Amino acid sequence: MLGKGISALVRALRPRHWLKNGFVLAPAVFAGHAFDPPAMVKALTVALAFCLASSAGYLVNDVLDREADRNDPVKKRRPVASGELGIGIALVWAAVLFALAMAASLRQGALVVLALVGYVVLTLLYSVLLKGVPVVDVMVLATGFLIRLAAGALAIPVVISHWLVVCGFLLALLLAFGKRLPEADQAGSRSPHYPLSFLHDVVTMLAGVTLVAYTLYTVAPDTTAKLGGSNALLLTVPLVLFGILRYLLLLHREGAQDPTATLFRDRPLLAAVLLWIVTAGVIVYTSGGVR
């Protein structure tokens, strides 16, 4: 019985979604600190704090959504909705995780703590009030990724690139609206109702804008200047193009609801992401780093 309870709790924490908190590490990596142990320890500590806070947010969200989730063919298997994890236990663990997240961030500076508090408040507002408001719901989710980027920059500290902010925000919007696409015909009582044609238009638009923004980033004067005058980062654009097109294909062909699960399930998409990481890393670290 105890083993089943622990298993249900772990599933409710959604550890595979901790990958999203990799955004916290982006400022350190692109600023050339990937091989700087003190800087990476700070960044990883902040990433851990966001992992704990995000899992706490999932527990609160699942408690609030439990009735709607029971009517969903996939979400009804969530531990709270299925009854495997009690409401009281879920809320207690949410409070514990929030406290641990705050404790992990305290030694990283007041600004990092403020960023984490802002993320927690935004997460709670989303779960309680904003989740059902069309467009606002997706903007809130994307803003959560921007807070992760800001926290990662504040932890080092480094000046965060405005291009990193733009590209990160657009990518977050693309994935968030893409997640809504398969749910359009079965939106629950606490989910926004989007016309399918609207979602198709928005996803298509964001895919194009994200690619253009990334391409402009690779050839921007401040980017090339910090790469010793090289525009070699432009070589990674085809990988980003392939990744975006592959995601759109999976979205329309399979109705992929979870970008994280889609990434790990689809080998061509995963290979493209890994190849981009390696290629961009080699270019950045052989050219002095992009700040």
CATH number at residue 70: 1.10.357.140
Summary mean pLDDT of the chain: 88
Range of the domain at 50: 8-160
* One domain for residues 69 and 152: yes
In this structure, are 108 and 62 located in the same domain?
yes
> For position 194, what pLDDT does the model report?
87
pTM above 0.85, yes or no: yes
Q: Report the amino acid identity of residue 32.
A: G
Residues 153 and 218 in one domain: no
**Residue 244 corresponds to which tokens in the numbers above?**
């975006």
Q: Using one digit for the tens of pLDDT, what is the confidence trace for 96-151? A: 999 999 999 998 989 999 999 999 999 999 988 898 899 999 999 999 999 999 99
User: Do 128 and 258 reside in the same domain of the chain?
Assistant: no
DSSP secondary structure code for residue 20 in this structure: G
Contacts of 51 (CB under 8 A, 6+ apart): 15, 18, 21
Residue 165 has pLDDT above 60, yes or no: yes
DSSP state of 128: I
Chain segment 218-260, per-residue pLDDT in tens:
998 888 887 888 889 999 999 999 999 999 998 888 665 677 7
Residue 188 included in any domain? no
* Residues 40 and 149 placed together within one structural domain of the fold: yes
- Number of separate domains in the chain: 2
Residues 113 and 239 in one domain: no
DSSP annotation of 56: H
The string of DSSP codes covering 146-177 is: HHHHHHHHHHTT-PPPHHHHHHHHHHHHHHHH
Instruction: Please check whether residue 22 lies inside any domain of the structure.
Output: yes
Is residue 169 in a domain?
Answer: no
DSSP 59-91: HHHHHHTHHHHTTSTTGGGSHHHHTSS-HHHHH
Half-sphere exposure of 166 (CA within 13 A, CB side): 13
Residue 24 lies in a domain: yes
Burial classification of residue 2, based on how many CB atoms lie within 10 Å of its CB (0-12 exposed, 13-18 middle, 19 or more buried):
exposed
Q: What is the pLDDT of residue 257?
A: 60
Please indicate, yes or no, whether residues 151 and 247 belong to a single structural domain of this protein: no
Would residue 287 count as lying in a domain?
Answer: yes
